[in-house]
A and B are shown apart, each in its own frame.
Chain A
């Protein structure tokens, strides 16, 4: 409720100003506003008290308490706010109730709602909740209501390990997997066998630690063995851009990420260097990367986690002009008289560096008044969702010789006023084998192990938040 309140505060604040010389007071506050007051806490409490999982219709389908039980009635505050917010994205992540704070995230159509009793950095909780969702994703392949219900015991065990007394304990996927096997292995082992290494009471498990807990490289499990040793790195760059009506670039930048997949035996120590590290303006690393080496030599030196992980994310320095791979000519207009409008979009290649643009897709959020569309696409298919008013034009590969075009008429609800704003176009595209910033991996070396791994680097450019204003 707090954030909603902040927003209202903000508005109210501005309104207060307008009141200036008015003598009348006029503010209607939601009832929970009046409830806010300070309370005394009997004693210190932990950081995250309870977790509720709620689906998008508002059903609470899982609850976990790390200390005393908090009634699920506390969620009512949240559900009320959720009802008021039209879109689930608009539910403020931090709410205040008379006795608790609710911090929630919205992921994959689910709300992860945590109950807090005392001061805690909100980002701490938010980041942790996302980590929980990531872990579910990692374990079960997706993070949906049905899959969580089906694996409720594993989910419960995971939550038990991830948080001790409200404080994060083990959040690295590699450590968790040592303690709680993902379902794949679970199946083959049969339920009666030990799934956990954590309680080595029985003889066959012995004195084995989830070594990650203790080692100074907690992200990697010990004794990894592969017959084929491989290390793949995907350099993926996203162009975030806003183009204005005339096609001019209002704002453009490149964000990159290096996703890695390493299947290497033993304790390999990798060093990855770039041809042109100066391009990188701002970076953030997986904890395995040694800061000091980067600072001094601009190389990435690390002992990788086992499996898939995000090695680094980066931002390309803003001095470099961003190449915009496509141009968009568009004309969307609504006529003053008669209930119709016209739409005409053409997309063509601009700066593609000689590569093929693939996976081209245009999404338009039409004004509410647009009832239906009657369009013809020179290439690809289009769909118009009557309920959400979203027009999607799936083009596929971009043909440089014959730029694809979509044109036709829009029928507008009769009697409704002419929509004032033309909808913005969201563009999706993909270019294989190219990092649009020009970043290049120079070499990858491995130390500490004797075998020769198979190494691979792949480049890709995608449209990130790429928006054309109309």
Chain B
């Protein structure tokens, strides 16, 4: 490889600059003498003006640090260079600084100002690295500075800086735990971040600072699930582990109904009496629970399902830690029937490095105890090779033993037979133990195993024999009467076997079953008495035992022998043995002093002893979260978070709904939602919205990575959840149920929609009649408000600007009049009389995307409801390419967002929408139209804004104060915000004469741009210059309702303020016909961002069967990715 030669070169190159000096300075004795001098030399180099000398010095210092040499006396010389211009010097200074700052706190403080300056740098990378180093300096005095820096960085524009802020949180926490509360606030803020870059890091911070604050996760749960696949590998591990814990607290045990069966099935495996007793108790309890569960059939929470579904593809990750994390999640959370999927992935990891194998096998061993069936198909993957390290062999053996059952035991035993011949004696011993376990667990093979083990007794290796004896002893304990010949055989072995443990085992066996071998046993005792003094302690104890038992059963022959042995033991060096001898003598030899106990001596010694239970050391290991360090050690490691038990009853699932918040822009549908909630509290909102989103196709996984406006509202998140649901092929039973629910919801909604097909009323109490009335009213109302605003504008605004504005609105009004005319009656009717289904879809759509337009510019009835009208408009925009984009924009109805809810606003409700008009006072601002409605009984006065809080660079032009808003009246105002091409919210206070409300306006990314006109050629040319990083491409399948041209155009322009690029080819100019043209058209849209005027180019290339490719070219990558996300959503739903 070229690299190796390169390496040689490098060696040569660096040596010429003097590297060998330290290259050959191992900890030789001479170093101390030269130390002082060398450091002088380094200091000189650091003080020089030449960067090359400084760099050289720093390299040598870092090499010292790496070697563990003390370089702290250089601190003053080094820290001077913290502001050095040379980047590499600087970098190495940072490395040094972080290493020694703790020791030299005073001097370290000198460097702080450099970093503080760095925090304000316009370059995000410098900001990030300044924060990184600053937070790594472990000096307590700077805690407040760090806190401030973290807080600031947490709301930085750049996700990369925010990620760094997340990393800094645990650093500060470990430096000063007092800061916990403040840090939790920052974590809370960062948890709400929508970028994949931040997600992993902030969850890591959460786990280290406040893992107990599970409540912080609720609102972010769905977002995290959906982002997961695009988070980097290490973040995935942390998030999955955290979500496992979360799910254990929030959802019900999916196996609650199966636990009965499970217990019954697995119990026989370790069928000792004790166990059974326990099991029975358990069973009773479980049965109770089960019956309870039967009363209320288990339905999996959709959020629970969402987690399982979104983690499953990660089983295919190349990163073993990710695979293990998913595996443990499935093991702990999935219904029993679904856990199986992880087996294959885990078996795959067995091909990896031996350390990985080691950890995986430990976990597999635990899993095989609870879920044996899962790994049975992969039995052969656990076969042992002679080249495996011993620790791997032993673990594989453990797994094989756990997997053994009646059907595969013969294969396994044949395998074991090979292993017994291994040269690795530790492994052979483990194999013999394993055979013993198989024999106890599976009755059918007990005799076979026993015979096999007896054969091993003639093995040449003593260790093997000894281990066999020990195991045989255990097996014999189970049915001693059948095997007196084996006992005889073993008695003979006592002459040859030297391993103490084995000798002891044999002696115990003979003593215990001396009645089965009455002739041999006294003889054995005789031999043992002879060699007593030379035996090991453990053997001596057994000799005493044997003697005692024989004395009790056959005192005639053995009385003297026993006396002899006890006398020997009396003078033994070991006090245990002396004690034992004294004790036994008192117990068995009747004297005048002997108490009541000696009567029971026989019972005491020859009581029936229960057979030992041979069970896996991995039994019950699974109370530790699998994959954790604690599980591996089978001991709680510091900082381990217990895996909670399933709750008895599910906590309120609605906590995960992302609620209407004052500050969060929302589809203003609260009325209908609340209504529904009232109707059925139990039903989570989630499943409702699934119904809404209807059959959608799966968004390509990459789409999630975009930091788009995902999870702004509950409906959106769950929408994407349902996407993945549909994409899932293996359908589970729960799904059907869910679907049924959806169906119901749909029906319900249909009913509701029938009631108010067009408009949503603001008030939730309004009865049907009221609604009827309202419908009538509404028709006149908008027109009224329309005129109001116009007049208002004219009155208040400065002459020129107002002129142009009103001009435009007038022209718009014209268009609208057209629309109204077109819509007024005939087109509306066909919709109603259409097939029921179609109508439902239409109205659903309507509910989803469009709102009772609060803005006067928009017609209350959605324009595109009538297909004919759309065609009209489409024709207009297409045929007349000079048509101003501003006039096209309104054709797609404007979404309006709630700024202030009626309740929180104490009667005052405020909504806003992006009117897509140029904001005349300042072209760099986005016009936001605000509609105030006074629902209170009293007048509201002096409506104005105050205390505007903005991200740096953002500006706001306030709307003129509204002096009076009478009760029941509605008015609108326009304000301008320069968002600096970011989706950061503008926060301000809305003040009335009595109250102040904190509100914020956050723009969807599509509103940050204004349409521009480009020809197709221009478009292509510009696009050619925005390739590579500036281009984001997504594949998608268009929504069924969105396969014709005008809906595509419609939806794209709704999602983003762009104008369509007219296309020269006739296929696009021809009026759109219902069957789309055979060759697939390409739609192009163009715009510029409002602040920086960066081009935004969008291409939607359709292909057969609804497939399409979406391309966004924009030099602002963040905007590009977010836009892709938004448009994708618009097109697929």
Contact = CB atoms under 8 A, between A and B. Distances in A.
Interface stretch (A200-208, A347-355, A391-399): A200-208
B504 A9 contact: no
A68 interface: yes
A370 to B, nearest CB: 11
A123 to B, nearest CB: 4
A139 interface: yes
A183 B7 contact: yes
A414 B605 CA distance: 50
Interface stretch (A92-100, A371-379, A432-440): A92-100
Interface stretch (A14-22, A323-331, A455-463): A14-22
A287 B617 CA distance: 37
B727 interface: yes
B729 interface: yes
A35 interface: no
A164 B126 CA distance: 16
20 contacts: A17-B612, A18-B474, A24-B576, A41-B638, A43-B174, A44-B209, A46-B170, A46-B174, A65-B99, A72-B68, A90-B391, A150-B23, A210-B125, A214-B159, A214-B160, A216-B706, A313-B351, A367-B423, A368-B423, A420-B460
Interface stretch (A125-133, A226-234, A337-345): A125-133
A201 B630 contact: no
Contacts of B86: 192, 194, 202
Contact of A150 (B14, B164, B348, B541): B14
A165 B125 contact: no
Interface string A98-134: 0001001111000000001111111110111010000
Contact of B700 (A244, A292, A313): A292
A447 B323 CA distance: 31
A414 B684 CA distance: 81
A63 B68 contact: yes
Contacts, number: 415
B237 A124 contact: yes
B632 interface: yes
Interface residues of B, number: 165
Contacts of B504: 22
Nearest to B90: A199
A6 B67 contact: no
A119 B626 CA distance: 12
B87 A198 contact: yes
A118 B637 contact: yes
Contacts of B230: 216
A72 B65 CA distance: 13
A283 B318 CA distance: 9
B629 interface: yes
Nearest to A149: B23
A33 interface: no
B6 to A, nearest CB: 4
Nearest to B319: A127
A246 interface: no
Contacts of B727: 292, 295-296
A291 B316 contact: yes
Given A18-B473, A141-B3, A46 B208 contact: yes
A250 B379 CA distance: 12
B538 interface: yes
A165 B136 contact: yes
B541 A285 contact: no
Contacts of B542: 22
Interface stretch (B380-388, B768-776, B994-1002): B380-388
Contacts of B318: 284-287, 310, 313
A426 B614 CA distance: 35
A310 B319 CA distance: 12
B692 interface: no
Interface in A241-294: 242, 244, 250-251, 253, 255, 266-267, 269, 281-287, 290-293
Given A167-B234, A242-B383, 12 more contacts: A10-B394, A43-B173, A44-B209, A67-B171, A67-B174, A118-B640, A141-B6, A150-B11, A165-B135, A183-B9, A287-B318, A365-B387
Interface string B1-40: 1111011011101100101000100000000000000000
Contact of A122 (B4, B241, B629): B629
Given A117-B638, A195-B88, A198-B87, A150 B209 contact: no
Contacts of B385: 242, 424, 465, 467
A248 to B, nearest CB: 11
A147 interface: yes
B614 A467 contact: no
Of A139, A152, A213, A250, most B-chain CB atoms within 10 Å: A152
A192 to B, nearest CB: 4
A388 interface: no
A121 B160 contact: no
Contact of A156 (B6, B95, B321, B383): B95
Contact of B470 (A18, A117, A153, A215): A18
Contacts of A320: none
A210 B167 CA distance: 18
Main secondary structure of the interface of B (DSSP, over half): helix
A101 B10 contact: no
Interface string A382-395: 00000000000000
A39 B633 CA distance: 15
Contact of B129 (A60, A122, A198): A198
Interface stretch (B49-57, B1069-1077, B1081-1089): B49-57
B983 interface: no
A13 B387 CA distance: 26
Given A63-B68, A192-B51, A123 B627 contact: yes
A222 interface: yes
A62 interface: yes
A-B pairs, 6 with minimum CB distance:
A118-B639, A141-B3, A141-B4, A184-B6, A183-B10, A421-B421
Of B10, B508, B641, B706, most A-chain CB atoms within 10 Å: B10
A186 B702 CA distance: 36
Given A121-B321, A202-B85, A467-B387, A291 B354 contact: no
A430 B720 CA distance: 48
Given A167-B167, A216-B702, A153 B501 contact: no
Contacts of B702: 216, 290
B275 to A, nearest CB: 14
A102 B979 CA distance: 50
A263 B614 CA distance: 59
B630 A119 contact: yes
Contacts of A295: 313, 727, 729
Contact of A417 (B56, B460, B700, B1035): B460
Of A68, A121, A216, most B-chain CB atoms within 10 Å: A121
B803 interface: no
A117 B208 CA distance: 12
B399 to A, nearest CB: 12
Nearest to A19: B612
B102 A68 contact: yes
Given A26-B538, A64-B66, A43 B321 contact: no
A199 B313 contact: no
B358 A3 contact: yes
Contacts of B1121: 216
A159 B105 CA distance: 24
A200 B174 contact: no
A164 B166 CA distance: 11
Contacts of A282: 344-345, 347-348
A401 interface: no
Given A92-B391, A127-B319, A167-B234, A18 B505 contact: yes
A141 B4 CA distance: 5
B324 A121 contact: yes
B59 interface: yes
Interface string B347-376: 110010111101110100000000000000
A6 B234 contact: no
Contacts of A164: 132, 164, 167
Interface stretch (B807-815, B918-926, B1026-1034): B1026-1034
